[in-house]
Each structure stands twice: as C-alpha cells, then as structure tokens.
Structure 1
C-alpha cells in the first residue's frame, strides 16, 4: 500500500502511516446490518480505520485506565470494531483475545482461565453467546461504543510509540485453535509473528512459478472467514493492508454460498476466501454457481478438503484455489506452477521451498506436514508460541503426494493424524474419504463423522451404514440386519462447529454420546441374527467347545462344512465384520469375556494340528506354567523382582538377561546384601544370559534366541540406568534396546507379554491434577533426561502396540519405592528421604511439609516386587473390564498402563513424631527436634554447609556426609517452589487395583516401617 514497506514497523504505527499517505483508499466494506445484506455495505477508508483505532484506544484508557499488557476478550458482530479493537487495545496498553462464539462453556472457561482474562468487551445489543460465556466464567463486562460513535467522531491521535525489534516478543493479539479435536488452545501472535509473516510473503517464487498471494494483490476479496478466526483476522489486517487488498466482510453467522451471492449482488468483488462448505453448496446450486462464475475471477478455500467430484464440478466453471494454514504456523506461503491441471489439481498445495516444510511419511501413502525450525529460516517462520523452544512443529495434518512424478511437489491434505481409525486387526483407515463420499453422494447430508465406539464399550469401531449412488460402490453395501441394529437417527441438535465452520469432532461425539452409547450397548444383537441362539456355557469339554465354534462359524459366514478344514479361516474368506460377530457369539455362548477379535486374528483355525488351535485357547487353563525373561536383574529392584518370581509356583523358568558376564555371582551377592533367599547357580528354574540388547538378536546365539522366542510368556524390561544428571543422548542405547525387545515380543510365536518398568517422572510435570492409567502426551519436559527417556519409551511401546495387534504390552509407572519391610534390607542412604532424615538428625530440625509430595503413597520395595510380578503375569484384562477405559486411552486392549502406588495414603505430618523419636540422640547437643517450614529448613541445610565448609574447606566431604540433603539443593527448591496441597497430582489406580489383588493389601506407611529404616541408616 502506497509503497510503504511493513517490515520493521509495528502494525498500529503502520496503519497510521498508510492512513496519512492514502487516507481515502478503501480499506474494507462491512454490512450495514449484522444479519442481512439487503441494506448494502459501508465503505471504510484508511482515515476511518485509523480514527476508529484512536477512538477505541481513547475509550479503553478512559474506561479501564492505561493498560499493562492485560488481556481483554471481545464478542461482537462482524464490523470495523474488530480490527479497531485489536490495534486500539495495543495503543492503550492492552492485548485483545478474540474467542469464537461457537466454543462450548467448558472451552470458554478453560481459555479465559489460561489467559487470566477477567474482562469482556461487548456490543449493544449483546450478542447471544455473551450470556453463555458470562455463565461459564466470572467476568467484568463493558459495552463498547457503537460503530457510528466511533466513525462519526474525530478522535485525538494516540501514537503507538513502541518499536521493532525492541517490542518484538510482546503480544499483539490472541486467537485460539479451532477445537476440531478437543479443547481449543490459545495462540499468541507477537509482533515478531507479524514481521516473520511479512518476511515469508516477500520470498520470491522459484523461476517459472508465481506466488499464490499475487492472485489477491490489490483485489477486492469477499472474506467469508469471521474476524475472530485466525485466518479471517490475518486476512482482514496483516495480509490485507500491505497488499492493497480491500476486504468485503460477511454478515454474522455461518457462511453460505447463498449469502456470498447476495453480497456480490450488492457490491462487486473479484475473489473470495471461503470454507469448504460454501463450495459444497455451490456445487449443489447451479444458479449460484452460474452467477459466481460470471462475476468473479476465482474462488479460494481453506479449512478442510473437498470431495474430488465436487471440486471438479466447481473448477470447471471458475478457478478453484486451495489455501493452507494453521493458527500455530499462519497461512503458509504457497506457490502456483504452470504444470498444474486446473480441473483436477485444484486440491493440491505447493509450499514455498524456503519455509523449512517437510512431509514425513506416517503410512504407506500419507505424510505429516512438519515445520523444521532452522537458524537460517528463523525470519520466515512463525515463532512457536504454544510449544516454545521446539525444533520442529508437527502439524498433525496428513497429506498425499500427487501421483504424477512430474508433480511431486504438489501435496493434498488428507486427514488429521488423530482422525485415523485403527481397527481391531491393526489395520488403519482414513475416515475422511468415507465422510466425503457420503456427503457427495447424499445431497441432504452436509457433514458425516464416523464414530469410534465410546468409552462405555471397548474401543471397537462400528460400521457406518450409508446410501451409495453412482456406478461404483467404494465400500461394501450394508447388510440388512446391520441396518436394523444401527438404525438411522434424526439429530436433535446441530453439530458443534469451529470458528471456520467445520464440525468439531470431539464436541460432536460428546454431544451424541448417549445415543452412541445406546447403539453400542445393543451391538450384541448382531449375534442373535448371525449366530446360534445359545451356547454350551462355561464348559471344559473340548468336543462341546469345538462343535460350538464350528456351528457359530457356519452361521456367521454361511459357509459349507468343508470350509472348516482350511488352514486359515481367512483362506475361506472370513472378513473383519464376521470376526467381530463371531467373537461376540463365542464370548456370549461360552461365557468367556476374554474372547476378543484379536484372538481370532491370531489363531484363525479349528485344525487340531495348528499351533495352537483356537479350540485349545478356549479351554480352561487357570494356572499354566510361565517362562519369564527379566532384564536388569542385578539392580536393587531387579533383585527383589527375581526373588518374587522365584517365589511364584506358576513360573517354571526365569531367564535373566544382563550385560555383565559375572551377573550370576553379582546376583548372589545382592541376595545376601538384601537378605533375600540364597541363589544357587544350579537352580534348574534359573538361567543367566550375557546379552547386548542394542543388537537385533539381543547378543544371543541363534539356538538360545529361538528357545526364548518359542517359550517365553512374559518379558519384564527393568534394565535402565538410574541417573538424573546424564543427558538424554546417554539413554539412546536403552531406547534402542526397548525397540529390540518389542520386536522380539511382536515376532515371537509365543506372543510374550511385554512388561515395562517406567516412572511417575515420565508424566510429570503435568497440566492436569489427575494422571490417568493411559498413555499421556505432553509438551512439558520432565525434570531430567532419565524421566524424559522413560516418556519416550512409553510412546515407543504405544506405537508398537498400535502397529502390531498381536503385541501385548503393559507399562507400570513406579512411584516412590521405599525400603524393604519384611526383612533387613538397607534403603539406600543416598536417596532423598534418607538424606532428609540424616540431615534432620544433624540440624535437629524436620520440614513441616514436603510440598506436593506430602501425601505419601510409598510402596516398600519387597511388597512392590510382588505387585509388579502379579501385574506382569496376570491375564490381560477381560473385554468387559476394558469397557471401563477412559476416553483417550489406547483402546485396543493390547496396551495397559498401571500405577502401582500405595492406595492407603498417609500425610507427612502424621509421621513427623515417629521420625523425630526414631532419630539417635545427639552426642554434643541437647537441642530438641524442631518442625519448621520447608523453606526455612532448606535455608538451614544450605547455611550449615556454607558455614562449616567455610571454616574447613578441606572437610567438605565430611560435612556432606553429616548433612547429605545439601547435595539435593535443586530437589528441595523444586518442592518449595511448586507449593503444597494445591499442586498435588493424583495418579489413578483403578485398573491397577482391578488386576492386582496384592496392591490393595499394602498398608499405608507405618510408624514401625519408619523406625526400621531410620535404625538401619544410623546402624
């Protein structure tokens, strides 16, 4: 605009410069009425915009006082007050937050609390969403002046004195993610964000191509995206002003093609930026498409994909341009190439090669868009504000490459990574193609969302029933009884929409949860239609079980009896839907809740000569002997685990895998040290192997490896270096070993259970006060590399189980492991609690609190070992038990997460008298034992070391021996800084207690235990 370069000038000042250079240039046009185009549009010049910004700034200062970067929220109709508020607030010292009126009350509350926003600006009359947000969160509400008041008065100029780069990292405006897959997250655009966008937009296109943004340079654009949407806000302000583009804005409400045409009949525009729903409507309305094609140069869309048939129909009448962006990355700088076919390639985007964008394969056909932050690209990439400091931003958007090798730089959006559905057989599908086909084939359907089975049932996925038109049927047609079991339901409420107009998947499934629960609760009616009406029940007669399997299989499939002799059911044509029905039939008829589809996938035959046949697996076997692999047996916990395994009569053999060739003798020494039962090298139940777990063959001979592959029933992976000071790189070999052991279990004919010892540190810190028994994804780094490595290992295990349906795995997040209580066994003096007690004896003072750790859920190591062995060797929870899984869990039934923590918690304050009385009497002091605040206790620890070491620097080691808590200064500082009860995290234990009967029998930390531990430290 007016040849004024926006780079290096903060935007409020830039608008003032443009208004001074070209005051009568048209900035935008807004509808005269918020709900109708019948009253035409009001032209806003740059003089008007600058004046409105000054008016808002003046009103804010007079109403609220000069701001100190406080966040203000705003709801209002689509008019000039949106941009005026964003930049007027900056002049007044405030930052605007623009929420979507379509957010749920829970989303509003979460975002407002996250941003510490307590003030809401509204218009008169108040928009309908205002009542909902006020009910969701306590807010002070202020009514903004009307448009006529802002524009009809000449306001004094208020300068914006901040400059770039001094104010680069200050907040400019706050928007939020769409919430398509859950609670929206706030997105903070700083002044640096805007500058980097300008740098990105200034990149020259490769030779022979042109920048896609050139299509709107100096044009009049109908901006169908609302002003509170990140794309709408950017297009209305940061993108429009420097490019000389005039924005024609819509009325309030969901954008429609009919509305766009109504606007076009009132004021001309060359191009439009719309959501996919508008393109869908145009394709279904020839008269609207005709008018648009005759009065506009092209249509741009963003926010989702279009069915190919729909896009081709529209592209045959008017050029169709796909835009791509994300709140976290901004609108990416795209280019257009002459080798595109405008009729078929409209859905593909071509990212400028200078942005650091990579497409990382996630499936055989799909790749995730990843922005890689490199120093040389910093000035062209939006700074990551949700996850500061990250080196890569994973968009979770999947793309498919153009099939023509000559167009390999073209990519088409395919799905969100979290949209992908994983079936019971481990296969995956992208539901977007289903959704698009249903919508394209049914004019009365505007949106379709395949629903995974809700938490009230195991996370199976139901088959969708849809009508299919056209000559080609892309998915199998519905079976009549499935239509009966899953009838068509008339929605009683509109689907929740994001700010960009797309359906919010998570909110929709939550809205219809009762109906979906009811559908899945009735799922077993399929078995009535497809299988025998009754079964033999819980019998142990092989003939009866075999006959019922065969009868059920024939009833479900319609096969003739000769098909039963095939080597595999799949050779006879068994499909996934029949497996689902068969598993239900067998589960009900034999009253065996552990019969799940995976069992049939892994053993698809009735042949007695198979290994093993399905029949054998269905015979009762309450106490089959087990063969265990244990890694890291020579460590402290490993020694107790080995003792617990040897004490279990159902375990026939234990293979200990250790790096040290002297592991057997070390193990004997450990048994003596911890007063465990003596080990004999000739014990027929015990074998020690020297291994290298970083090798794919585990460093074992082929014959030994084969023996383990065919006999192992459970692999307990305990080998991990416990050191909080090592860098993450150190743990890479341990992660490699984890992958190799996972591969061993996945490939072994015996399908051993992989049991991994993790730590509570893997999921702390956390933004949630409650930690579920499931895989947790977080962007908050753990306190040390040891915990981070366990976090990575947990996700490696989750990924492996998702990819391999035959792999069964469990993760046990171990908490505070206390000293043994059933026999002498020293709790290491170097750990934090022994160090605290020993320093307390020296200082004659105990802290009155442990901050967030004051609620003690400690488990003595010998009792913990028994619980862990019980969890490792117990059967996988039954199908009915898995129905209680929380939403967001892995949900496939082959990965469990356990929290083996003491369920009888004890407050730290109740143990203080016992600790004080158990401490030895001081030799040179008669001072009583004090109980003082944690902060004061920490200060005494530091002061004692500073004084004593200062008097005799050479005796520092002696000082630290008497006052070992000084070595853990950072630990105490964290406890003090986090705070007390309000910051306590609760680890859920419901599933763990369900599987382990021993855990509930572990008593809360007892005074007698404390006396034993203290006595051993001072012995």
Structure 2
C-alpha cells in the first residue's frame, strides 16, 4: 500500500492499493465494512507464512495475515483507511467477539468526547469508558453528559451486532482531568486502560448486575402483579409490546442484550428471597414467556417448590398445532426428468456439505439454498463464505446449478417472491431441511416460530406442488431426540412415542416435536416425509477440518495444559460430516419406502474403544506431545486446577458440562482409518501456530 497521492487528491487518510502489489494482496472482510490485510504468496515483501489449514479462498496457503484492519473508501475500491489491530477484539463470556473500533469511532465523532474505550472481556455484554473533552459541555453533570451523548451510543449500537451493543448502565463517564495511558500520537493503550480503570469497570458491572442488594429487599409481588410488571418492562423499557403473558418472548424479537436488561431489572428491583443471588442470567431464555417467568420469580421469593413448566404438555400442543395438512392437488401430469432440490441450513456445517454433494449429482439440475438473510447479496455472501471456510470448491457446472435465495421460514411463503414460488411449485422434487439453531439455553417454545413452524411451511410447499407427486421431504433430526431414554436401551428406527425420552433441552425436544409432525404429514397425505436421525458428526474426510470449539476437540486440547487424557470406558462412533451428507443425498434422491413409521439412523456402524484403541494409537504416533492416561476423576481434577483463563485454556469451559455428564464420552470413529491423526494435525497446527 502507498500513501502517494496525485496533485489535488485531498484524501490523505486513505492508503492506495495498486498493481502489481494488489495482485498479491487480499482484503478479507472479517466484519461488515472491516477488512484485514492478507499478504499472498508471490508478494516480494511477504515474510514467513502464518496461514493454517484448512485453506480456503479467504485463508490461502502460504499467506500472511497481518492483523491490520482497514475500512474501504465508499466509492474507490482500492482506497483503504487504517482502523486498528485485529488483536483489539474483546471476547465475551459466551465466546462472541466484539470488534470495538467501529463502536468507539462513532462515539468519538462527538466533539464532547475525547476518547472512548469499549470493555467487557469475559462478561455477558460490553460497556464503554468515555472521557470528556476539555472545554466542551463542562456545565453538564456526568449523568447529563451521558444523556447528551446517548444518541451517539445508540447510533453505534445500531451498526453493531446484537451481542456487541452497549447498555446505558455500562457507560462510565470520566472527567476532563482524568489521565489515561496513551501513545505519543494520543492513541489509547487498551490493555493499560483496562488495568488502570479495573475498579471502575467492576463497579459498573456490579451495579448493572444488581450486586450488593440485601436479601429480602425489593418489591414483593403476587404472580399477576409480576406478570403486569414484566409486561411493562418489555413494553416501556425495551419497546417490545408482548401480546400476552403467554406470548413467546423470542418470537417477539427480544435479543440477548434485552434479556440481560430484563434480568438486571429483576435482580435490582424485586425481592427474590434467600436464593435471589442464584438467579441464572439465562432465566429469561429458560422460561420463554412472561407467565412462566413470573411464576418462577414468585416461587423463589416464597420458597415454594419450583414447578417446572410442563414442557411435555407444550410439546403435545405443538405437535397438535402443526399436524393438519392440505391435500396434494396436481395440475401437471408429466413427471420431471431431473431433480430440483431445496436445502435449508446450507450455511451450516452439515448443510454446506449436503448442498455440495447434491450439486455433484448429474440427476440434479437445480439446488435451491434458502438462507436467512436481509437480502440477496447477503445470502450469497454467507453461502460463499460457508463453502470457502470448509474448503468446498464448486466447478463452473456445479455453480450454474446453484440458486441462492434470501428467505424466512417463519413466513407462510418462506419469504420468497411469487416468481420463485411459481417455479418451485412446478419443478421442486425434494426438500432437505437441516437448518436448526443449536442453542441449549432455550425452551421448546422458543423453537416454534422459525423452526417448528418453518418445518410446517416447508411441508406445505411440498404439498402445493403442481407435479403428479408432492415434493419429498427429509427432516435432519438428532439422536438427542432419544438421549433421555432409560438405559440400557436400543433405539429403534421408528418415531419415539414417549416424549420424555428426548434430551431435556428445548433443542432435543423441538427436534422430537418435528419428528412427530413429519410423520403426521406422511400419515395424513401419503407424501414421502422422512426423518433422518443423525449422530455425532466429526470433521470431513478431505480437509480433516473438525470444529475445534466442540467439546471433543476441547477435551483433546487439554493435553496442552493437563498433560493427560481420561481413560473412558466407552465405544464412540464418529461420523464424518461429508460421509453423512453423501448418505443423506443417497436417501433423498434414490430411496422410496412405504413404511410410514420408518426413521433413518445416520450413525457410523463402526465403533471403537476409547481406552484400548484410541489412546494407544495416539501414544504410538500423533502430533500431540507425550501425555499420561489417567482416570476420568483425576483428569477432571487436573483440568479444574489448570489455567483458568478460557482465552489461554479453552478446555476449562468443559468443567461444568463434564461434571454434569460423568461418562464424559461424546466422541465418535475412524481410528483405524487414520482420520484421527489428521484431525489432530489440523488442531495442533492451529493451537501451536506451527
């Protein structure tokens, strides 16, 4: 890049990227409007490579990621303005990464603001230190000053992702005379700012989270009074008017920041009794409706035994609500010669491989990927990124078959335009539904709008086909629908009738609800509506890329901090994700079965011994350093006493999960095929930087 400008060019703040250098530089958009400069192989000035597999369009082999961030000129595509270092991102407790620079930059535009520094490492939501400018609005108190600049904070929040938005209660105003660590150029030194103002930050969070409130203090309300109080908070403070106390909170558009604000109002204003300090910050997620939340808060204060919302009854209600279907009325006599397939969830791990597998098939002429996005370009960009991140490349012929559309499954028309709908009604032969939110904090109600109802709308699209037969429908379910079955047990390839056998989370329960709805569609209409019950997926067999934030990878990563792995007396069964996608495509395209109750189990038929097969294989030869094999109890103890910072030791995140899951064993297959060694090589390359 160069800062050289032609005479008359006044845009001195922008660097120019010209050829031939531009041919060997990638400006990778890592966040909306924020680009990281990446030096590509062939650039003469490039030093050693720091790229790590799996390689992709945005992560080329032998490239060097500079960690320098830029914004692009609004009209000149080769003009970039320096923004910050990538290292400045802030990791929240849920793992989301806040990019503070755009937020700080917008707030700093106010002439009354000298400096703004976003904080929030390992917290639920971020906050901001704002330093006042000398000689500006000096007559205002700190509270008045906050009100004056709040529109600027709201403007910054509007541009930021939901989890990055700053609540007013976490804005800390500092006076003109307060000094902060800065470079000679006046740029704040972030780490030193956090250290100097650590007590201010702690006090802000303590006030925000209601710390220090005496037990027994606060408002004491009956259940009806609590319902009205909560409704008013949603309506007046959040601007979310819920239709009733039974309305689903998340279907109304409430986000994670707003649930945190409701939690904060609860702990600061209400009497929650002796157990008030134990109120989970996920409580709004967990209860899902004002009615359930009010009942829970009342029971906490009065000491009554908490009555769990009867989620099994909710499941039965949802099954009944979405099990009535229209009959298929064909208007076209000729059967299509090729397959036109719709895939949901194509930006996810399994969905991306399903779409890629279908595009390879000569009998498939079109693959429609319906992506939840605000517009067509966003949908295309999201799918392109999803494929690239998994090292999935398409030929020109395959790309020509792909139709990417922005949609919304919660809408009856799926958010599609009429032209697309007419085309699909006259050509669609198959739908593979793999889109689902992996969120274990939500109750089953919260999966209704976009997932359970979305399934219903997809089945209706199949039934409204003009072709001689309805489009076939395949629902990607999960073994979590049966994971609460009393042990020992053998799960049959049929629908699970006992709803209590689903995993005790909204995720598992919503999957089982949808299994019943899918079967109901086949029973009522005769259409092919099938359930694919999928087991634990591992990385793919080509690039050996397995998400290293999953519990299995985190367990193996603990070798680097504990020097050990547990001896698990289990027989896991891995199923590589691309193998699963291939099996799904085979079933969807080539299989027709009249058995209404048949469920396909997609699990690896080959199991192995964790202790007798896997551990010896790893000791014999892998990228791991030497390690001990110890009892699960000793391994847990070592993990608990290892580095507590999840940034330095991500495996520490497993502690609570594993203590609730004594068997520890969630891993799966091909040790004998050597795939495990390749997973480890990929992980170690990331973890050690080698």
> TM-score, normalized by length of structure 2?
0.49
Higher RCO (CA 8 Å, separation ≥ 6 residues) = 2
Q: Which has the larger radius of gyration?
A: 1
When normalised by structure 1's length, the TM-score is 0.34
